[in-house]
Chain A
Amino acid sequence: MQEELHCKISQFIDDDLPVDQALILLDQIIDNPGLEAKLYRYQIAREALKTDLHSPPDANFVKRISQQIKQENVQFLPHRLRLRKNYKTLLAVAASVVIVAVIVLGSLSQTQENNIQALQIVASDDTGVQDQDENEQWAAVSAPQPPSPPYYDYLEAHQGVLYPPDSVLHNYARTASYGK
């Protein structure tokens, strides 16, 4: 058991221990001075191997800071850490959302079209003869009506144009527009 914990400490200083296990190990260290001493010595060995200049912290370094912090009256405002963004993941998620939205919208409009077509088919089946009469009436209403006789004469005299091409009204309208 103890050896297993020591092995985990070795993994921990190499950042090889999974996060959840590392946090459990750190909590175990609080209650076990032997484990803390082991971590301390492993770290000394590591730093001494990296440089001959290492002067290790004294064994009470953590305790001294801990005591000083206990006396500190620092209030932390509640907030969450902003996690460093993994842009590739965000991009992939955004692309997936767009694709899903396009597919959903496409299928929705397809369904609507199908519904409209179905309604039209049903409607045309039900009112075949009646529609024919209505269509004739609609054609009669919407057909262009012949202009009234005075306008008809005027349009005929001016080749179907309401105002003659050289009308002063054109210039006047432009002048008014510039003034405006």
Chain B
Amino acid sequence: MNDQARTSEQIDQELVLRVQQGDKSAYDHLVRKYQHKIIQIVNRYVKDPSEAQDVAQESFIKAYRALNNFRGDSAFYTWLYRIAINTAKNYLVSRARRYSQYEVDIQEAEQVGNIPQLRSMETPEQQLFNEEIVAAIKSAIDKLPEEMRMAIMLREFEGMSYEEIAQAMDCPVGTVRSRIFRAREAIDNKLTPLLDNR
């Protein structure tokens, strides 16, 4: 386990402990931290984005109710991830029962989730909106100075740590930190008007 994963787990452990001690706001932090990832996972199974959000929400609520049984043997995210997948599968099964004319193959759902053309449940507006977001981000990255672009790409696409990026770019870790932050700010400047107009 690398330092970053360890840091993330330690933060989660502290937050889980706070929730177990009765601090409900600590659970908001966990939701805030993992909402994007969990929705992304659920979206692989449940094609309709609004349904996926409902299933993701249900997953978080289930996790909260079961938090007393969480002992920290595995990472919180791994545990939450399993709950999300099971909730999504159960949702598909129950929906199939309700609408028996639809055949649902869960294994198939796992595979077709990666094919954009098969995400037919998205409305054209949603599709357009998502495409605009991606286009804005890519355009912002293209306009970045070379060092910033390289730093953010090594981080986001290659998943390298700050230390590894510092070695690759032959510069101090502090410089990497600053370059990545500046790159994110540049992307954010493009993204904010889009999200505000939603």
Query: Interface of A with B (CB < 8 Å)?
Result: 6-7, 10-11, 14-19, 22-23, 26, 29-30, 36, 38-39, 41-59, 61-62, 64-66, 68-70, 72, 74, 76-84
Given A19-B10, A48-B137, A50-B156, 19 more pairs with CB closer than 8 A: A7-B178, A10-B177, A16-B4, A17-B7, A18-B7, A19-B7, A29-B29, A30-B28, A43-B35, A54-B134, A55-B52, A56-B133, A66-B24, A66-B27, A66-B31, A72-B61, A81-B71, A83-B13, A84-B72
A49 to B159, CA, bound (A): 12
Number of A-B residue pairs at CB separation under 8 A: 172
A55 close to B188 (CB less than 8 A) = no
Task: Tell me whether chain B's interface is mostly helix, strand or loop, or mixed.
Answer: helix
Q: Shortest beta-carbon distance, A12 to chain B, in Å?
A: 9
Residues of B within 8 Å of A, CB-based: how many? 71
- Interface residues of A, dominant DSSP: helix
* Interface contact B181-A6, CB-CB below 8 Å: yes
Task: Let me know if A14 and B187 touch, CB within 8 A.
Answer: no
- Residues of chain B within 8 A (CB-CB) of A70 are 24
Task: Give every chain B residue within 8 A of A41 (Cβ-Cβ).
Answer: 188, 191-192, 195
Instruction: Kindly identify which residue among A18, A19, A23, A49 contacts B137, using a CB–CB cutoff of 8 Å.
Output: A49
> Which of A45, A57, A79 contacts B20, CB < 8 Å?
A79
Closest beta carbon of chain A to B101's beta carbon, Å: 26
